Amino acid sequence: MKTVDTNSEWAVDASGLVKTFGENRAVDGVNLRVKAGTIYGVLGPNGAGKTTTIRMLATLLKADAGSARIFGYDIAKDPQIVRQLIGVTGQYASVDESLSATENLIIFSRLLGLSRKEARVKAEELLEEFGLTEAAKRPLKHFSGGMRRRLDLAASLIARPPLIFLDEPTTGLDPRTRNQMWDTIRKLVKSGSTVLLTTQYLQEADELADRVAVIDRGRVVAEGTVDELKQSVGSSSLHVSIQNADQIGAAKELVERILNVQAAVSAEGRKITVPLADADAVSDLLLALRKEGIQSAELSIQKPTLDEVFLTITGKGAKKEVES
Ligand SMILES: Nc1ncnc2c1ncn2[C@@H]1O[C@H](COP(=O)(O)OP(=O)(O)O)[C@@H](O)[C@H]1O
Ligand SMILES: [Mg+2]
Protein backbone atom coordinates (compact mmCIF):
# COMPACT_ATOMS: atom_id res chain seq x y z
CA MET A 1 0.00 0.00 0.00
CA LYS A 2 1.47 3.37 -0.92
CA THR A 3 1.76 6.00 1.75
CA VAL A 4 -0.62 8.88 1.59
CA ASP A 5 0.00 12.18 3.30
CA THR A 6 -2.42 12.63 6.19
CA ASN A 7 -0.90 15.79 7.60
CA SER A 8 -4.12 17.67 7.19
CA GLU A 9 -5.61 19.44 10.19
CA TRP A 10 -9.06 18.23 9.16
CA ALA A 11 -9.79 14.54 8.90
CA VAL A 12 -13.19 15.47 7.46
CA ASP A 13 -14.12 18.75 5.85
CA ALA A 14 -17.53 18.54 4.21
CA SER A 15 -19.76 21.30 2.99
CA GLY A 16 -23.26 21.35 1.61
CA LEU A 17 -23.66 17.60 1.25
CA VAL A 18 -27.02 16.64 -0.23
CA LYS A 19 -28.60 13.28 -0.96
CA THR A 20 -32.13 12.88 -2.22
CA PHE A 21 -34.02 9.60 -2.47
CA GLY A 22 -37.02 10.32 -4.68
CA GLU A 23 -38.86 13.14 -2.94
CA ASN A 24 -37.00 12.61 0.31
CA ARG A 25 -34.06 14.92 0.98
CA ALA A 26 -32.35 12.48 3.32
CA VAL A 27 -29.29 14.73 3.66
CA ASP A 28 -30.09 18.37 3.10
CA GLY A 29 -26.91 20.45 3.04
CA VAL A 30 -24.71 19.01 5.75
CA ASN A 31 -21.49 20.74 6.78
CA LEU A 32 -19.05 18.84 8.99
CA ARG A 33 -15.49 19.49 10.10
CA VAL A 34 -13.68 16.88 12.11
CA LYS A 35 -10.26 17.69 13.50
CA ALA A 36 -7.66 14.95 13.09
CA GLY A 37 -7.06 12.95 16.25
CA THR A 38 -10.45 13.61 17.81
CA ILE A 39 -13.74 11.79 18.33
CA TYR A 40 -16.61 13.48 16.58
CA GLY A 41 -20.20 12.54 17.31
CA VAL A 42 -23.06 12.85 14.86
CA LEU A 43 -26.11 12.71 17.02
CA GLY A 44 -29.63 12.27 15.74
CA PRO A 45 -32.79 10.18 15.85
CA ASN A 46 -33.64 7.34 13.50
CA GLY A 47 -33.94 8.53 9.92
CA ALA A 48 -32.07 11.81 10.52
CA GLY A 49 -29.61 11.09 7.71
CA LYS A 50 -26.60 9.85 9.71
CA THR A 51 -25.89 6.68 7.73
CA THR A 52 -26.43 8.39 4.40
CA THR A 53 -23.94 11.10 5.39
CA ILE A 54 -21.34 8.51 6.38
CA ARG A 55 -21.89 6.53 3.19
CA MET A 56 -21.18 9.63 1.13
CA LEU A 57 -18.05 10.50 3.11
CA ALA A 58 -16.87 6.90 2.75
CA THR A 59 -17.36 7.08 -1.05
CA LEU A 60 -19.98 4.31 -0.91
CA LEU A 61 -22.68 6.66 -2.15
CA LYS A 62 -22.40 9.59 -4.54
CA ALA A 63 -23.48 12.97 -3.21
CA ASP A 64 -26.07 14.88 -5.27
CA ALA A 65 -24.47 18.17 -4.25
CA GLY A 66 -21.77 19.53 -2.02
CA SER A 67 -18.22 18.37 -1.52
CA ALA A 68 -16.01 16.77 1.07
CA ARG A 69 -12.35 16.20 1.74
CA ILE A 70 -10.85 13.43 3.83
CA PHE A 71 -7.42 14.50 5.08
CA GLY A 72 -7.46 16.96 2.21
CA TYR A 73 -8.40 14.42 -0.47
CA ASP A 74 -11.58 15.09 -2.40
CA ILE A 75 -14.13 12.25 -2.13
CA ALA A 76 -15.27 12.78 -5.71
CA LYS A 77 -11.87 13.33 -7.34
CA ASP A 78 -9.71 10.97 -5.29
CA PRO A 79 -12.01 8.20 -4.05
CA GLN A 80 -9.20 5.61 -4.33
CA ILE A 81 -6.99 7.54 -1.95
CA VAL A 82 -9.89 8.31 0.38
CA ARG A 83 -10.68 4.61 0.64
CA GLN A 84 -7.14 3.93 1.81
CA LEU A 85 -7.58 6.41 4.62
CA ILE A 86 -10.81 5.15 6.11
CA GLY A 87 -12.31 2.19 7.85
CA VAL A 88 -16.04 1.62 7.86
CA THR A 89 -17.80 -0.81 10.16
CA GLY A 90 -20.98 -2.65 9.42
CA GLN A 91 -19.75 -4.49 6.36
CA TYR A 92 -18.78 -7.69 8.06
CA ALA A 93 -22.02 -9.48 7.32
CA SER A 94 -20.63 -11.11 4.20
CA VAL A 95 -18.09 -13.25 6.02
CA ASP A 96 -18.36 -16.97 6.54
CA GLU A 97 -20.42 -17.85 9.62
CA SER A 98 -18.99 -21.33 9.92
CA LEU A 99 -15.41 -20.03 10.18
CA SER A 100 -13.87 -18.89 13.44
CA ALA A 101 -13.09 -15.28 14.33
CA THR A 102 -9.40 -15.93 13.74
CA GLU A 103 -10.02 -17.44 10.32
CA ASN A 104 -12.25 -14.56 9.32
CA LEU A 105 -9.68 -11.96 10.31
CA ILE A 106 -6.95 -13.85 8.49
CA ILE A 107 -9.02 -13.92 5.31
CA PHE A 108 -9.58 -10.17 5.59
CA SER A 109 -5.89 -9.54 6.16
CA ARG A 110 -4.90 -11.70 3.20
CA LEU A 111 -7.40 -9.82 1.01
CA LEU A 112 -5.67 -6.60 2.07
CA GLY A 113 -2.36 -8.00 0.89
CA LEU A 114 -0.75 -9.19 4.11
CA SER A 115 1.44 -12.30 3.98
CA ARG A 116 0.26 -15.52 5.61
CA LYS A 117 2.44 -14.89 8.65
CA GLU A 118 1.56 -11.19 8.91
CA ALA A 119 -2.12 -12.07 8.66
CA ARG A 120 -1.88 -14.54 11.53
CA VAL A 121 0.01 -12.09 13.75
CA LYS A 122 -2.45 -9.31 12.91
CA ALA A 123 -5.46 -11.49 13.67
CA GLU A 124 -4.03 -12.48 17.04
CA GLU A 125 -3.18 -8.89 17.92
CA LEU A 126 -6.64 -7.66 17.09
CA LEU A 127 -8.44 -10.46 18.92
CA GLU A 128 -6.33 -9.72 21.98
CA GLU A 129 -7.00 -5.98 21.72
CA PHE A 130 -10.74 -6.57 21.46
CA GLY A 131 -10.97 -9.11 24.24
CA LEU A 132 -11.96 -11.88 21.85
CA THR A 133 -9.03 -14.22 22.38
CA GLU A 134 -11.06 -16.79 24.25
CA ALA A 135 -13.76 -16.87 21.63
CA ALA A 136 -11.29 -16.81 18.76
CA LYS A 137 -11.68 -20.46 17.81
CA ARG A 138 -15.47 -20.52 17.97
CA PRO A 139 -17.41 -20.26 14.72
CA LEU A 140 -19.00 -16.89 14.20
CA LYS A 141 -22.53 -18.25 14.32
CA HIS A 142 -22.11 -18.76 18.08
CA PHE A 143 -21.06 -15.15 18.67
CA SER A 144 -23.23 -12.74 20.66
CA GLY A 145 -24.24 -9.39 19.19
CA GLY A 146 -21.58 -7.59 21.18
CA MET A 147 -18.83 -9.97 20.09
CA ARG A 148 -19.83 -9.57 16.46
CA ARG A 149 -19.74 -5.82 16.79
CA ARG A 150 -16.24 -5.97 18.23
CA LEU A 151 -15.06 -8.40 15.58
CA ASP A 152 -16.54 -6.11 12.96
CA LEU A 153 -14.58 -3.20 14.37
CA ALA A 154 -11.45 -5.36 14.58
CA ALA A 155 -11.79 -6.27 10.89
CA SER A 156 -12.12 -2.63 9.91
CA LEU A 157 -8.85 -1.89 11.71
CA ILE A 158 -6.65 -4.42 9.93
CA ALA A 159 -5.41 -1.74 7.58
CA ARG A 160 -4.98 0.74 10.51
CA PRO A 161 -6.92 3.46 8.75
CA PRO A 162 -6.32 6.96 10.15
CA LEU A 163 -10.06 7.71 10.03
CA ILE A 164 -12.69 5.31 11.29
CA PHE A 165 -16.41 5.67 10.70
CA LEU A 166 -18.50 3.97 13.34
CA ASP A 167 -22.17 3.89 12.48
CA GLU A 168 -24.13 3.45 15.72
CA PRO A 169 -21.43 1.22 17.23
CA THR A 170 -23.37 0.44 20.39
CA THR A 171 -27.02 0.43 19.32
CA GLY A 172 -28.69 -2.60 20.84
CA LEU A 173 -25.75 -3.58 23.05
CA ASP A 174 -26.19 -4.29 26.74
CA PRO A 175 -24.62 -1.73 29.11
CA ARG A 176 -21.54 -3.83 29.91
CA THR A 177 -20.71 -4.47 26.27
CA ARG A 178 -21.39 -0.84 25.51
CA ASN A 179 -18.84 0.21 28.09
CA GLN A 180 -16.26 -2.15 26.57
CA MET A 181 -16.93 -0.65 23.18
CA TRP A 182 -16.44 2.85 24.58
CA ASP A 183 -13.08 1.82 26.02
CA THR A 184 -12.05 0.38 22.67
CA ILE A 185 -13.02 3.57 20.87
CA ARG A 186 -11.07 5.69 23.37
CA LYS A 187 -8.03 3.45 22.85
CA LEU A 188 -8.24 3.87 19.09
CA VAL A 189 -8.08 7.62 19.40
CA LYS A 190 -5.23 7.44 21.92
CA SER A 191 -3.25 5.46 19.36
CA GLY A 192 -3.69 8.30 16.86
CA SER A 193 -6.87 7.48 14.95
CA THR A 194 -9.68 9.88 14.24
CA VAL A 195 -13.19 8.59 14.88
CA LEU A 196 -16.45 9.83 13.43
CA LEU A 197 -19.30 8.03 15.12
CA THR A 198 -23.02 8.31 14.79
CA THR A 199 -25.29 7.71 17.72
CA GLN A 200 -28.83 8.04 18.93
CA TYR A 201 -27.59 8.06 22.50
CA LEU A 202 -26.96 11.40 24.07
CA GLN A 203 -24.99 9.76 26.82
CA GLU A 204 -22.68 8.18 24.28
CA ALA A 205 -21.89 11.52 22.69
CA ASP A 206 -21.39 12.94 26.17
CA GLU A 207 -18.99 10.11 27.12
CA LEU A 208 -16.92 10.03 23.96
CA ALA A 209 -17.17 12.97 21.65
CA ASP A 210 -14.91 16.01 21.65
CA ARG A 211 -17.44 17.77 19.47
CA VAL A 212 -20.95 16.92 18.40
CA ALA A 213 -23.17 17.77 15.46
CA VAL A 214 -26.87 17.35 16.16
CA ILE A 215 -28.57 16.28 12.96
CA ASP A 216 -32.29 16.27 12.35
CA ARG A 217 -34.14 15.71 9.08
CA GLY A 218 -30.94 15.87 7.05
CA ARG A 219 -29.67 19.10 8.57
CA VAL A 220 -27.13 19.99 11.21
CA VAL A 221 -29.20 21.89 13.73
CA ALA A 222 -26.46 22.46 16.30
CA GLU A 223 -22.69 22.00 16.52
CA GLY A 224 -20.13 22.37 19.24
CA THR A 225 -18.59 20.75 22.27
CA VAL A 226 -21.02 18.95 24.52
CA ASP A 227 -20.58 21.70 27.10
CA GLU A 228 -21.31 24.40 24.54
CA LEU A 229 -24.46 22.59 23.49
CA LYS A 230 -25.57 22.34 27.07
CA GLN A 231 -24.92 26.03 27.56
CA SER A 232 -26.80 26.90 24.40
CA VAL A 233 -29.95 25.64 26.02
CA GLY A 234 -29.02 28.29 28.49
CA SER A 235 -30.50 27.82 31.75
CA SER A 236 -30.47 25.20 34.37
CA SER A 237 -33.88 24.42 35.75
CA LEU A 238 -35.23 24.99 39.21
CA HIS A 239 -37.57 22.52 40.86
CA VAL A 240 -39.59 23.50 43.89
CA SER A 241 -41.84 21.07 45.70
CA ILE A 242 -44.59 22.58 47.82
CA GLN A 243 -45.62 20.91 51.06
CA ASN A 244 -49.26 21.94 50.96
CA ALA A 245 -50.88 21.18 47.60
CA ASP A 246 -53.54 23.88 48.23
CA GLN A 247 -50.85 26.52 47.92
CA ILE A 248 -49.57 25.40 44.55
CA GLY A 249 -51.48 28.09 42.64
CA ALA A 250 -50.15 30.87 44.84
CA ALA A 251 -46.66 29.41 44.72
CA LYS A 252 -46.70 29.24 40.94
CA GLU A 253 -47.75 32.89 40.68
CA LEU A 254 -45.02 33.89 43.05
CA VAL A 255 -42.34 31.94 41.20
CA GLU A 256 -43.43 33.46 37.90
CA ARG A 257 -43.43 36.97 39.30
CA ILE A 258 -40.03 36.73 40.99
CA LEU A 259 -38.21 34.85 38.25
CA ASN A 260 -40.16 36.51 35.45
CA VAL A 261 -40.71 33.24 33.55
CA GLN A 262 -43.49 30.76 32.84
CA ALA A 263 -43.64 27.98 35.38
CA ALA A 264 -44.89 24.43 34.89
CA VAL A 265 -46.70 22.41 37.54
CA SER A 266 -46.29 18.63 37.72
CA ALA A 267 -49.22 16.30 37.20
CA GLU A 268 -49.56 15.45 40.86
CA GLY A 269 -49.67 19.17 41.60
CA ARG A 270 -46.85 19.65 44.04
CA LYS A 271 -43.80 20.41 41.98
CA ILE A 272 -43.04 23.58 40.08
CA THR A 273 -40.39 23.61 37.36
CA VAL A 274 -38.94 26.73 35.78
CA PRO A 275 -35.94 27.58 33.63
CA LEU A 276 -33.38 29.35 35.77
CA ALA A 277 -31.29 31.99 34.09
CA ASP A 278 -30.01 33.65 37.23
CA ALA A 279 -29.14 31.49 40.23
CA ASP A 280 -29.05 34.59 42.47
CA ALA A 281 -32.80 34.90 42.10
CA VAL A 282 -33.26 31.71 44.10
CA SER A 283 -32.61 33.45 47.41
CA ASP A 284 -35.17 36.14 46.53
CA LEU A 285 -37.63 33.39 45.78
CA LEU A 286 -37.01 31.62 49.08
CA LEU A 287 -37.55 34.84 51.00
CA ALA A 288 -40.75 35.58 49.11
CA LEU A 289 -42.10 32.06 49.68
CA ARG A 290 -41.44 32.34 53.40
CA LYS A 291 -43.06 35.80 53.54
CA GLU A 292 -46.22 34.36 51.92
CA GLY A 293 -46.22 31.44 54.35
CA ILE A 294 -45.64 28.85 51.62
CA GLN A 295 -43.61 25.86 52.82
CA SER A 296 -41.32 24.32 50.27
CA ALA A 297 -40.51 20.67 50.88
CA GLU A 298 -37.66 20.47 48.45
CA LEU A 299 -35.74 22.75 46.18
CA SER A 300 -33.20 21.68 43.60
CA ILE A 301 -31.35 23.13 40.63
CA GLN A 302 -30.61 20.90 37.67
CA LYS A 303 -28.17 21.50 34.86
CA PRO A 304 -29.58 20.63 31.46
CA THR A 305 -28.85 17.11 30.25
CA LEU A 306 -27.84 16.44 26.68
CA ASP A 307 -31.31 14.95 26.23
CA GLU A 308 -32.88 18.27 27.10
CA VAL A 309 -30.47 20.00 24.75
CA PHE A 310 -31.57 17.74 21.96
CA LEU A 311 -35.23 18.22 22.69
CA THR A 312 -34.84 21.97 22.90
CA ILE A 313 -33.03 22.10 19.58
CA THR A 314 -35.19 19.71 17.61
CA GLY A 315 -38.41 20.37 19.51
CA LYS A 316 -39.22 16.70 19.20
CA GLY A 317 -39.68 13.63 21.28
CA ALA A 318 -40.25 15.41 24.57
CA LYS A 319 -42.20 13.26 26.96
CA LYS A 320 -44.39 15.78 28.73
CA GLU A 321 -43.66 15.30 32.40
CA VAL A 322 -45.02 18.65 33.31
CA GLU A 323 -47.97 20.58 32.05
CA SER A 324 -48.43 24.31 32.08
N1 LIG B 1 -31.14 3.56 -0.11
C2 LIG B 1 -32.19 4.31 0.25
N3 LIG B 1 -33.26 4.46 -0.55
C4 LIG B 1 -34.29 5.25 -0.20
N5 LIG B 1 -34.36 5.93 0.96
C6 LIG B 1 -33.34 5.83 1.80
C7 LIG B 1 -32.19 5.03 1.50
N8 LIG B 1 -31.31 5.11 2.54
C9 LIG B 1 -31.89 5.93 3.43
N10 LIG B 1 -33.09 6.38 3.01
C11 LIG B 1 -33.98 7.33 3.71
O12 LIG B 1 -33.22 8.48 4.01
C13 LIG B 1 -33.50 8.97 5.31
C14 LIG B 1 -32.25 9.00 6.15
O15 LIG B 1 -31.84 7.67 6.40
P16 LIG B 1 -30.52 7.28 7.16
O17 LIG B 1 -29.38 8.05 6.59
O18 LIG B 1 -30.40 5.81 7.15
O19 LIG B 1 -30.83 7.83 8.63
P20 LIG B 1 -30.17 7.43 10.02
O21 LIG B 1 -28.92 6.66 9.73
O22 LIG B 1 -29.91 8.74 10.70
O23 LIG B 1 -31.17 6.61 10.76
C24 LIG B 1 -34.60 8.08 5.85
O25 LIG B 1 -35.83 8.71 5.60
C26 LIG B 1 -34.44 6.82 5.05
O27 LIG B 1 -35.68 6.15 4.93
MG1 LIG C 1 -28.35 4.77 10.38
CATH of residue 79's domain is: 3.40.50.300
Ligand index nearest the alpha carbon of residue 18: 1
Cα–Cα distance for residue pair 104/247, rounded to 1 Å: 68
Do 280 and 137 lie in a common domain?
no
Distance 50 CA to ligand 2 centre (A): 5
Asked whether residue 67 is domain-assigned, the answer is yes
Ligand 1 pocket test, pick from 50, 51, 52 with the greatest ligand atom count within 8 Å of Cβ, gives 52
Handedness of CA 299, 301, 306, 310 (dihedral sign): positive
Asked whether residue 47 is domain-assigned, the answer is yes
> By CB neighbour count within 10 A (0-12 exposed, 13-18 middle, 19+ buried), where does 227 fall?
exposed
59-116 pLDDT per residue, tens:
999 999 999 999 999 999 999 999 999 988 755 544 677 888 899 899 888 888 899 9
Average pLDDT, the chain: 86
> Does pLDDT of 321 surpass 60?
no
**How many domains, the chain?**
2
Distance 239 CA to ligand 2 centre (A): 36
155-175 pLDDT per residue, tens:
888 888 899 999 998 887 788
Highest mean pLDDT among 235-239, 266-270, 281-285: 281-285
Q: Which whole number is the average pLDDT over 191-199?
A: 93
> Does pLDDT of 206 surpass 70?
yes
Cα–Cα distance for residue pair 272/295, rounded to 1 Å: 13
User: Which domain-ending residue is among 231, 260, 279?
Assistant: 231
Do 166 and 244 lie in a common domain?
no
The per-residue pLDDT for 320 is 37
Ligand 1 pocket test, pick from 18, 19, 20, 21 with the greatest ligand atom count within 8 Å of Cβ, gives 21
* Alpha helix positions (H), the chain: 50-57, 79-85, 101-111, 116-129, 145-156, 175-190, 202-208, 226-232, 248-259, 281-291, 306-314
The per-residue pLDDT for 120 is 94
Ligand 1 pocket test, pick from 18, 24, 32, 197 with the greatest ligand atom count within 8 Å of Cβ, gives 24
Percentage of the residues of the chain whose pLDDT score is greater than 90:
45
Ligand index nearest the alpha carbon of residue 43: 1
Asked whether residue 310 is domain-assigned, the answer is no
CATH of residue 281's domain is: 3.30.70.870
Do 187 and 256 lie in a common domain?
no
Do 70 and 196 lie in a common domain?
yes
Q: Which atom of ligand 1 is nearest to the CA of 50?
A: 22
Asked whether residue 2 is domain-assigned, the answer is no
Cα–Cα distance for residue pair 195/167, rounded to 1 Å: 10
Asked whether residue 316 is domain-assigned, the answer is no
Q: Which atom of ligand 1 is nearest to the CA of 55?
A: 17
State the distance between the two ends of the chain, measured CA to CA, in whole angstroms: 63
Do 128 and 250 lie in a common domain?
no
Asked whether residue 128 is domain-assigned, the answer is yes
Domain hosting residue 272, numbered range: 235-303
Q: Which atom of ligand 1 is nearest to the CA of 52?
A: 17
Highest mean pLDDT among 43-57, 222-236, 307-321: 43-57
The per-residue pLDDT for 323 is 35
> Does pLDDT of 230 surpass 80?
no
Please, which residues bridge with residue 195 across strands? Answer: 39, 164
Distance 62 CA to ligand 1 centre (A): 14
Asked whether residue 309 is domain-assigned, the answer is no
Ligand index nearest the alpha carbon of residue 167: 2
Do 146 and 260 lie in a common domain?
no
117-138 pLDDT per residue, tens:
999 999 998 888 888 888 888 8
Cβ atoms within 10 Å of 287's Cβ, excluding its own: 11
User: Which domain-ending residue is among 202, 231, 260?
Assistant: 231
Report the pocket of ligand 1 as residue ranges, CB < 6 Å. Answer: 21, 24, 26, 44, 46-52
Distance 45 CA to ligand 2 centre (A): 9
Residue nearest to atom 16 of ligand 1 (CA): 49
Percentage of the residues of the chain whose pLDDT score is greater than 70:
93
Cβ atoms within 10 Å of 12's Cβ, excluding its own: 22
